[in-house]
Structure 1
Amino acid sequence: MSARITVQAFFDSPTWTVTYVVTDTSTRRAAIIDPVLDYDYKAGRTSTTSADRVLAYVAEQQLHIDWILETHAHADHLSAARYLKEHVGGRIAIGENIRAVQSTFKKVFNLERSFLPDGSQFDHLFKDGETFRIGDVEATAMLVPGHTPADMAYRVEDSVFVGDTLFMPDVGTARADFPGGDVHALYRSIRTLLALPAETMMYVCHDYPPASRAPQWQTTVGEQRAHNIHVHDGISEEAFVAMRTARDATLDMPTLILPSIQVNVRAGDMPPPEDNGIRYLKIPVNTLGAPTR
């Protein structure tokens, strides 16, 4: 890893999510990537244990937060971006294609008229190839659609944060069967990432490890090219599409997809309260996933 940055990971075991704090060592300015808001599905209650671990680290290291970066609108955890911004500042950012995701799910959830699918809930929308700074360190936003239309990877020095597009080599790749997903685009996005220098450090957003090992989240482009079980060098687009399509057809919807998407398209904010002062998350019936028999 470049001496110009440090990367601190926070693993959230209930959702198998990894949040990162990336720091410019010279200025102590930092970015938080993919933060988690805890959610008790049975009770419908949020809590901030995971996000508070990040806040404690930021305070201990005396960091100044420039960015709170989302790789996409996650379907497996709620975002703590809004909570973190309220406590440590920073600009909440995501890829500009979030507008397509918002438009799709505004219809699915019949969101309130005042919800505009224009990305205005976020402080910044990245274009593909756009550069930005974490302190004095230059970073690049890379559009990697497929899992969703809005997936972004963030390259910082000799590291790249890939969200859900790729997992650890022994786990494989993201699914592409959510609304707006595209398995062909996913393959091409992966090949773009794997064209980075082999020594590039790669940080994944989730790990779903086999029973034989503990959770991990750091690998390299070279390791992915050699060993990724779904998309190592030599796997054609045709073969990948056939494998991924068949595999996706066997997968259940993520447990938290319904609450997560409603919050995450709002940059971590909750829906507005209704006339009784209570905020509600909706459950669309017989809408997502394959029908059961």
Structure 2
Amino acid sequence: MPRWSASTAAVLGAGLLLCIMALAASAQPPLQPGNMQVISTEGKRNSKFSCADTKKNSKRPGCTATCPNRCRSKCLVLCPTCKTFCLCDFYPGVSCGDPRFTGADGNNFYFHGNKDRDFCILTDAGLHINAHFIGKRNPAMSRDFTWIQALGVRFAHHHLYVGAARTARWDAAADHLALAFDDEDVAIPAAVGARWSPPTAPALSITRTAQTNTVVVELRGVFRIMANVVPITAEDSRVHGYGVTDDDSLAHLDLGFKFYDLTDDVHGVLGQTYRTDYVNRLNVTAKMPVMGGADTFLSSGLFETDCAVARFGRAAAGAGNGIAMVTDSKYL
């Protein structure tokens, strides 16, 4: 799989990541940001396509290329060089599929965890994010196939739930997102650009970037999360041996994270890669670098902050009230 250096990833930028994820999820014909195109593979393996330079008065010739097999439904192409990659290959803070993360150092790694358990993805003094894993057991393997079904986000005294609703048969036209804030369900109109923000935490917002299944969750100055609900398709199951049955499409989340102003004490499966003293001890040349130590990140519940490396609630050195400032003080 391609491994983009941290410097290359930084050049692409978080804003471009979120733009591309929105384009890839949208039911509308995609716009082309610059000379990057989003190509639908329509479920076909080794889909070939051609592209030309979209820059005005360009004299560079076009090219023909092939979408990588690992791109499940769409791939991204830089024209006219025809460099292709999947959304989940290239930017720090991405988690996709059988959880494959891209760390802040630009390296990809897998974290399998266990099905029906919760793991600490990021934990810092004022922010804690757990992920709930669902999965399937392959009798021929010693581990579960796992995917992230939901996030439990804690900041100040608030709890935010972002999840994929269980569904037997996948319908792309239906909304499979489940959202809740402080134990109250959140309903957002099925329209691109529809936005919700709670009066008790006005810096928090959830915005639809497609009519269904894709939102950007932002806590101003703290994080931005792109969440996209996707199923395991019959083709995915056939190729990888997932053993998906007709009673559950294993809907799960593909995620893009952007964090602001983390402390250097941050930890968690993904969070630790943002530390200045982080040393990547994984075999990055392996086909599938795997981060172990699942017990270190195990939490007793989706909103619990009791993993072994928990940092939530600790006062950062030199900090005041930290993240509490994003909550309207009159509600505290």
Normalising by structure 2, what TM-score?
0.28
Larger fraction in strand: 2
Larger fraction in helix: 1
Highest CA radius of gyration, 1 or 2?
Answer: 2
